[in-house]
Amino acid sequence: MIWTIMIVTGLLTFAMRFVMLSAVAPRKLPAAFEEALGFVPIAVLTAIIVPAVLVGKDESIMLLDNARLPATIIAIIVALVSRSVVMTISAGLGTLWLLTFLGA
């Protein structure tokens, strides 16, 4: 049974990749698909970042005594103002380290 699942999964993966590289698939995606694909990075990053910021070690949502929350807010503000990845990471990590050092 497991071999059947592995072979079918491998064939499906090959088929999906083959179709996109062959002449079977259209070269230009429909406009609605291209517009929807613009939201994929935002959705994926939100799904990764929000739990990392708000969920504590005991799997509960932490709003108070959470040093990550103000660090994230400052990083977002720096990102919106500067549009620099390095400045955003530096401001967020610097704030997180400072708040952790101060015991917040």
Q: What does the pLDDT look like over 61-74, one tens digit per residue?
A: 888 888 999 999 99
Coil/strand/helix, residue 61: strand
Tell whether the torsion through CA atoms of 52, 53, 55 and 57 is positive or negative: positive
Q: Report pLDDT digits (tens) over 29-66.
A: 788 988 998 999 999 999 999 999 999 888 888 888 88
Give the span between the Cα atoms of 97 and 52, in whole angstroms. 16
Torsion angle, alpha carbons of 31, 34, 40, 41, to 10: -130
